[in-house]
Amino acid sequence: MFKISRVRSHLLALALLCVSAVSARCENAPAVGDWMPGEVILKIRASAFSSPAYQPNLLARGRTGIASVDAQLARLETTSIRNVFNSTTHASRKHDLGMDRILLAHFASAVTPPEASAALGGIGEVEWAEPNGIGHGTFTPNDPTYRLQWAHNNHGQAIDVAGDSVGTPDCDVDTNQAWGIQTGAYNVVIAVIDTGIDRGHPEFANKVLAGWDFVNNDSDPNDDNGHGTSCSGIAAAIGNNGQGVAGVDWGAAILPVKVMNSNGQGSTTDLANGIEYAADFGAQILSMSVEFGDSQTLHDAVTYAWNTYCAMFAAAGNENRNSLGYPAAYPEAFGVGALSPCNERKSPTSCDGETNWGSNYGAGLRAMAPGVRIHTTDIRGSGGYSLGDYTSTFNGTSAATPFVAGVAGLVLSQSYMTPVQLYALLQTTCDNLGPPGWDQETGNGRINAYAALRSVTGAVFVGSNSGVEHGTYDQPYRTVTAGVNAATTGNYLVIKPGNYDEANPLSIGKVIHVDAIDGGVTIH
């Protein structure tokens, strides 16, 4: 068992699987082939259950007392068993239905739950056995324009330049599924380094931090162009608030950093200063929908932010060429390309009908995200791209970049990880679009928010112990003692919520970030 050294105010709350809200809809739709790892449900036959051999006191040790069943449970390295249903209330009614004979077994062997089910189901004393399936929370926000936001859930509703509906179903970021797991946390800060923000927009209520204006050198990063407000809306507009659009990360705080003027132009030094400012502020995520030339000054700022553990997402550029702009081309940055609604790299010939631009590609491109005719926030009134408070045709790798930044925010709301780990997770959970692996047209593929969140590890070790066993979202790291003992001074461990199988059972209700210090643990 671990000891607690001190407590800080840096706890992350785990989002509920489904969030209750007026007009919101929460669906559990189990996917075929999706199940809880290391778990199998079995029902003991009535004759075996009522026999003297059955010993319920052995369940906690992973056995039943029934010889044939226990032999198979031992092969599966079963660690514990519990009753699925509570028989202390309406016991006779549940007994009549056989509910008291349904057990959940946790096993440690490498076999899959379907294989374990087949093995147990073939025993005469077992009535049936099945994997413990996973239901995926699908969150449909009540924002009026959500149904038009093909980037979240594409069913062919995008509108091309001719006014026709286009799109390939499921060419989207799967954010509607991701929101069933996580909608974002305020202590994750996304710095939008751009033209500023319309901080009075209702989609940003109570989530915009002070920020800075490097163009006018003052503390008011007001957006006089519209670009920054639109990018901020994609990354982090409040969802399910009954108005406008839904951003990717509803909970993240936005740090507006103005480095471009009303014409959408800025200097290298202003961008470099903006990156430095965001890093010094403590922003974990930098969203940069900008394209500059190579510069030692700019690269030094990017290197500084990288060494300050900032994850940096940058636009590949819109010239349809086989090279990325900067800072996207720097190795420390996560270069983002733009997809059309038809699951293809945006080009002058893509299905949307916009012939005047294409997404840059080639070396440094890490992933793709929706970037064509995007619904998002605009400067209120007539000061931005449209006459209203929203726009429906925001384009470019500028639009794709905050999509990925928002997904990164959801991931960091779920669990701590370094930029290296975050980049790797986002890349390995992409939906492949070209040949297996990376390709110059689409990088590692289309970013997938749901797959990324489902792959968030329950325990994260940084440093020499990075190979230690990990848990998953579905099965948190199960042995706290093993985790703490494995982590030496200076290594970082994250313990996810769950019930832990210690000698003295421990239940954790929030994500706990801990530093292992001489065998002890410091909770952050």
**Inter-residue contact 474 to 39 (CB < 8 Å):** no
Helices marked H in 241-285 — which ranges? 268-281
H-helix segments, 284-437: 296-307, 397-414, 419-428
Burial class (CB in 10 A: 0-12, 13-18, 19+), 328: buried
Task: Write out the two tokens for 406.
Answer: 């928002």
Could you tell me if 447 and 430 are in contact, meaning their C-beta atoms sit under 8 angstroms apart? Answer: yes
Q: How far is CA 428 from CA 226, 307, 475, 512, in A?
A: 33, 23, 20, 25
R_g of the chain computed on alpha carbons: 25
Task: Label the pairing between strands 333-339 and 137-140.
Answer: unpaired
3-state helix, strand, coil in the chain (%, to 5): 25, 25, 55
Residue 398 annotated in active site: yes
> What is the rounded distance in angstroms from the CA atom of residue 17 to the CA atom of residue 410?
14
Q: Is 524 a catalytic residue?
A: no
Active site residue 515: no
Name the nearest CA neighbour of 42 among 94, 98, 88, 105. Answer: 105
Which of 100, 174, 194, 270 is the catalytic position?
194
Instruction: Tell me which of 106, 136, 201, 227 is the catalytic residue.
Output: 227
Which entry of 230, 359, 398, 415 is annotated as an active-site residue?
398
Indicate which residues carry an active-site annotation.
194, 227, 398
